[in-house]
Amino acid sequence: MIKVAVMGGIGSGKSFIAKLFKYPVFNADEEVKLIYKKDRKCFINLKKKLPKLIKSFPVKKSDLIKAINNDKKNLAKISSVVHPLVRKKMEIFLKKNKTRKMIILDIPLLIENKLNNKGDVLVFINTRKSKVVSRLKKRKNYNVNILKELKKNQYTLLKKRKLANYIIDNNYPPNIMKLKIQKLKHKIFNERNNS
């Protein structure tokens, strides 16, 4: 099984690119949403760490945003509860798809949380800043301060770019991006089969 991890900044289009591979995708952001919605244990642990700020189940994104705005250290507290749960979900996903030729990891903090292995294929998504900003403004919970805090948690884009095996320019219409990803897929399979 080839593990392909898509990397890039917030709003670079990682999830869009991940889907274009047409293989099973592990989307960490989606998993986190489900954890907040369905995992009572997660809620109890968050409530223990942030008793004044996390009040009800399912956990509301607005409460988490308020907690991070209140005190920057709260992001680390939230992460300490949520990240191990995401890691567990990823392990289940990998087991379930172990017979697939390829799987895609869409995990914003993949490198930071050391979730990648030596043999993984790292694909960096390069997107124009203007495109990223317009994309982010369309999001429901768009909040400049929160984005700044999350960015501090992510490796600089330059570092990620250097670590990448491939760089994809995500500045073209969807139909062109589809073709670009198809080509990249073939390239990855060829290189793996010939190595």
Q: pLDDT tens digits for 53-97?
A: 998 999 998 899 889 888 889 989 999 999 999 999 999 999 999
Residue of 31, 27, 26, 73 lying closest to 53 (CA atoms): 73
Distance CA 58, CA 82 (A): 14
CB 125 within 8 A of CB 14: yes
Task: Tell me the pLDDT tens digit for each residue of 142-183.
Answer: 666 656 655 665 567 788 889 999 999 998 999 999 999 999
The answer to whether 16 and 135 are in contact (CB under 8 A) is no
The pTM for the full model equals: 0.86
For residue 35, pLDDT over 80 is answered with yes
> Exposure of 64 by Cβ count < 10 A (0-12 exposed, 13-18 middle, 19+ buried)?
buried
